[in-house]
Chains A and B, each alone.
Chain A
Amino acid sequence: MKFGILVNEGPYTHQSSDSAFKFAQAAIAKGHEVTRVFFYHDGVNNATRLTVPPVDDRHVVNRWAELGEKHGVDLVVCIAAAQRRGLLDDNEAKRQGKDANNIHPAFRISGLGQLVEAGIQNDRLVTFGD
């Protein structure tokens, strides 16, 4: 079965990013396909490559990135939600005249169309958030 996942909550906030990750991991372990994780609202903060958690804590951003790279999961960040919160990739940083970018290369910026598509093209879309 094909799953899409929507994450609406930031990392290290309550528990939704962790729940979503563990769900994705369990789905893949059971032989399902997780085609896309869409990060929306404060969920876009899961994509910053500058995250530096304490060494004995989980690294939420790298964990998503590794899952994406290993299992071909499309990690999509909502562009409007990201720009409001100061999350930019290289292209957007240049376009907006900013001196830095902070989105992890395993993630890509796109729009809500990708969320709608995840709802249409997958068998299930599971939402995690606040």
Chain B
Amino acid sequence: MLHIINKSPSERNSVEAALRLATKGSVVLLIEDAVYAATRGNTAAAKIQTAMADLKIYALKPDLETRGMADRVMDGVSLVDYAGFVDLVAEQPNCQSWL
């Protein structure tokens, strides 16, 4: 299952909720303002770090670059472009956007 999250952890609780409910082996993709959750020292950093034991975490690189955050990504978070986003959707049996 691919979980797509698009809001910053400072704005909504969707990052927290998705990480809490995603089952082991699931994949999380952070896009739009949710890419802030992938940066070092953000308010959800500890939760992301813990979640990495069970979940694979990706962030959309163009959205990190737009926000000047591409050089502040936490270790263990993988970056994808839009083509990689498409691949994640295709590889996973289904996807859920946390709006």
Contact = CB atoms under 8 A, between A and B. Distances in A.
Interface of A: 1, 3, 8, 14-16, 19, 22-23, 25-27, 29-30, 32, 123-124, 126-130
8 closest A-B pairs by CB: A26-B82, A127-B97, A15-B32, A27-B86, A26-B86, A129-B99, A22-B82, A26-B83
Interface residues of B, number: 19
B1 to A, nearest CB: 12
B89 A25 contact: no
Contacts of B97: 126-129
Given A16-B6, A127-B97, A128-B97, A23 B86 contact: yes
Contacts, number: 49
Specify the main secondary structure of chain A where it touches its partner.
mixed
Contacts of B83: 26, 29-30
Contacts of B87: 30
Contact of B82 (A3, A15, A25): A25
B94 A130 contact: no
Interface string B69-80: 000000000000
15 contacts: A14-B32, A14-B33, A15-B32, A16-B6, A22-B62, A23-B82, A25-B82, A26-B85, A32-B90, A123-B90, A124-B90, A126-B95, A127-B99, A128-B6, A128-B97
